[in-house]
Chain A
Amino acid sequence: MAIRDILAVVDTGDKDEQFLRDALAFAEFHNASLSFVVLSALPSADYALTIARPYVFLQDYTEAVEAKQQRIAKLAGGSHVELRTISDQPAVIFTKAAVYARYADVVLFGPAENYDYPPIRRETIESILFASGRPVLIVPNGHKPRPIGHLAIGWNATRESTHALRAASAFAAPGAKIDVIVLDAKPSTKGHGSEPGADIARHLARHGFAATVVPAWADELSDANGLVKAARERGAALLSLGAYGHSRLREMILGGVTRDLLGGAPIPLLFSH
């Protein structure tokens, strides 16, 4: 499946110049339609203290949004991009962003540092993952889009992993090398089957990919960085993961791979739920 419809999410900060350029380059590379949505969070009771730049007057919010829209239009130059805004309380932002995301093939975010409101960014990503069913791609600054001949998938045989697999296939070049990093590869009836990794390697081979199964153990990859490190060491250009395969509550309490990685990583991260 090709990428034809991209949504890129920004807020009203001014640290995302590179991400704007990256999003435009990404859409051009895929020859896809691009929409930007600008998030402008108006303070509500629970969020009043976490917002970094509390404008005093409503007009300042409007001006910040307009400024961002103008910057995007200027960078886009002649190419046609759609511009949307969600200027509302955070709860509304999370819902509406997920609704917009539903109509894209993939949703782009920059790393957390590019945003003025990282907590809003994070919850928007989570809302999109849970409520839209579309994958989220976190693009490191300066990412140059090119055909992906080698990518990695974190595989723990859950439903979310399956979505990660299908999302990754949309990005992989024909005949690409795919490293399937199989976590805790014990045979079981619940997921891995009797020969962990064998089924998925065969399945990928039928799609013309050169799959390698890389067994890994959770204690070696006790932090999310281990997974990214494993992918980078093998030369993968992108890491695809099922997001929140465990419950969100569990991840918040115990810390989880998804939460740790949502800020971004040196390689592009593709999250699916």
Chain B
Amino acid sequence: MLKDLVAIVDNGEAARSLIQRATAFAAAQDAHLAISLMMDIFDNAAVLPPFDYYPVILDRIDEEEQRRTEAVKAAVKDEAVPVEVRPVADALAYLGGASRVEGRYADLLLIGGASAFENQKLRRRSLQAAVTGSGGPVLCLPDNAKLERVDRAVLGWDASKEARRAARDLIDVVNPGAVIDIVCVDPESTAEGHGPVPGSDIARHLARHGFKVDVHVLSAAGRRISTVLQRFAAENGADLLAIGAFAHSRMRDILLGGVTRDLIDDASLPVLLSR
């Protein structure tokens, strides 16, 4: 059950749509929502001129922070449920750590698509830090994608422990009795991974949790795995795609294509990332 959500943004204007959709999700889940407004203190025109007086720069940084905070507060003011706003300002290098900490005390971290962010580096760093270091799942809500209650989800399954965490996190997110499609792309039976019938063990486990489960074994046939998963989700009307994140080595991702990276960069539906 979801009761405590945190959305990460870096502004109150471009992120307006994301904020509205995050609030709608929180309201539908009957969960508290806090907006963590992350601000890179050096991402500020005031810092650039090298000859300005130091106190003037600090004032400008403060002003910018206040302006952004007010913008976010204005964005949440008219929402149906109360939304907490938490400004966090620091050097970019430390903001990743801030995302990790936020994720530690939340059920789920929400991060929007590229157009919701002014600072793309901040978006990527927050995502990466949150996924790898917070201990909880991250929900990527791409531009225009809405999510309220999840009746139908796709679990990308490669029998890794990361995918296992995705299955566990999915249980908290989907409706009781929801339909879960387990999708294995070109599975290979190995000693530490898939068994002789890929997906069957996790299917049985999820069925024990009361979900309607089906296993689908698909072939990539030259396409990217992220494309295969998204296409399946679209064709079957899934509300959400869940995967274990960064389960493979960096080298493998470079050679074969990284599913997580693809979906972080450009997903066509909400994606739940777990690790």
Contacts and interface: CB of A to CB of B under 8 A. Distances in A.
Contacts of A131: 161, 192
A99 interface: yes
A271 to B, nearest CB: 15
B249 to A, nearest CB: 16
B134 A159 contact: yes
Interface in B1-45: 1, 3-4, 31-32
Interface string B81-98: 000000000100010011
Contacts of B32: 206
Given A166-B136, A203-B106, A207-B4, A99 B192 contact: yes
A243 B257 CA distance: 33
Given A1-B171, A5-B208, A103-B204, A132 B164 contact: yes
Interface string A181-193: 0000000011101
Given A159-B133, A161-B135, A199 B105 contact: yes
B164 A200 contact: no
A76 B226 CA distance: 45
A102 B136 contact: no
Given A5-B208, A33-B208, A103-B202, A134 B164 contact: yes
A163 B165 CA distance: 10
B192 A163 contact: no
A111 B128 CA distance: 39
A62 B254 CA distance: 46
A228 B168 CA distance: 28
Contacts of B205: 4-5, 103-105
Contacts of A105: 205
Contacts of A125: none
Please report whether the interface of chain A is mostly helix, strand, loop or mixed according to DSSP: mixed
B212 interface: no
Contact of A189 (B98, B104, B105): B98
Given A159-B133, A203-B4, A207-B4, A103 B201 contact: yes
Q: How extensive is the interface on chain B, given as a class?
A: 35 or more
Contacts of A52: none
Interface string A111-131: 000000000000000000001
Given A166-B136, A189-B97, A190-B101, A2 B209 contact: yes
A191 B101 contact: yes
Contact of A193 (B101, B133, B135, B159): B101
Nearest to B165: A133
Please indicate which of the listed interface residues A1, A133, A193, A199 has the most CB atoms of chain B within 10 Å of its own CB.
Answer: A133
A1 B206 CA distance: 12
Given A5-B208, A103-B201, A206 B165 contact: no
B161 A132 contact: yes
Contacts of A85: none
A95 interface: yes
B72 to A, nearest CB: 20
A160 interface: yes
Contact of A162 (B135, B164, B208): B135
A102 B4 contact: no
Interface in B174-226: 191-192, 201-202, 204-205, 208-209
Contacts of B31: 206
A159 B99 CA distance: 12
B62 interface: no
Given A2-B209, A5-B208, A103-B202, A206 B4 contact: yes
Contacts of A193: 101, 105
B266 interface: no
A49 to B, nearest CB: 26
A1 B105 contact: no
B108 to A, nearest CB: 11
A159 B249 CA distance: 20
A2 B134 CA distance: 23
B172 interface: yes
Given A159-B104, A200-B105, A207-B4, A102 B161 contact: yes
B110 to A, nearest CB: 16
Interface of B: 1, 3-4, 31-32, 90, 94, 97-98, 100-101, 103-106, 133-136, 159, 161-162, 164-165, 168, 171-172, 191-192, 201-202, 204-205, 208-209
23 contacts: A1-B171, A4-B205, A4-B208, A5-B209, A102-B164, A103-B164, A103-B202, A104-B205, A105-B205, A132-B161, A133-B161, A133-B162, A133-B164, A134-B164, A157-B101, A157-B104, A159-B134, A159-B135, A163-B135, A191-B104, A193-B105, A200-B105, A206-B3
Top 4 closest pairs, chain A to chain B, by CB:
A162-B135, A159-B135, A199-B105, A4-B208
Given A1-B209, A102-B159, A162-B104, 16 more contacts: A1-B168, A102-B161, A103-B202, A103-B205, A133-B162, A159-B104, A159-B133, A161-B104, A162-B103, A166-B135, A189-B97, A191-B101, A193-B105, A199-B105, A200-B105, A206-B3
